[in-house]
């Protein structure tokens, strides 16, 4: 999935889906808390940032997890 999201981010000049926008879309979905609390709502920004980091560094992360992707 991350490869597809990175492909979208690479075309952000045309589709306006920057890394930050993709983080906003996918962060709350991928890191959904078990309970909707005020603290969980306050943590949404951190979830978005984690997704941004994954998108920006996907090559490093994927190769570290699976060196056969080189």
Enter the pTM of the model.
0.79
pLDDT score recorded for residue 3: 84
Residue pLDDT, tens place only, 12-62: 999 999 999 999 999 999 998 888 899 888 899 999 999 999 999 988 877
Position 44 scores a pLDDT of: 92
Assign 10 a pLDDT band (cuts: 50, 70, 90). very high
Q: Which of 50, 28, 51, 30 is nearest to 40 (CA)?
A: 28
Catalogue all structural domains in the chain, each as residue range(s) with its CATH number: 2-69 (1.10.555.10)
Pairwise CA distance, residues 25 & 70, whole Å: 29
Is residue 70's pLDDT more than 60? no
């Amino acid at each position: 999935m991350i490869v597809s999201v990175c492909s979208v981010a690479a075309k952000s000049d045309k589709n306006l889906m920057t890394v930050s926008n993709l983080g906003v879309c996918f962060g709350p979905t991928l890191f959904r808390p078990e309970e909707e609390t005020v603290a969980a709502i306050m943590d949404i920004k951190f979830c978005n940032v984690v997704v941004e980091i994954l998108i920006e560094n996907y090559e490093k992360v994927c190769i570290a997890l699976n060196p056969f992707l080189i």
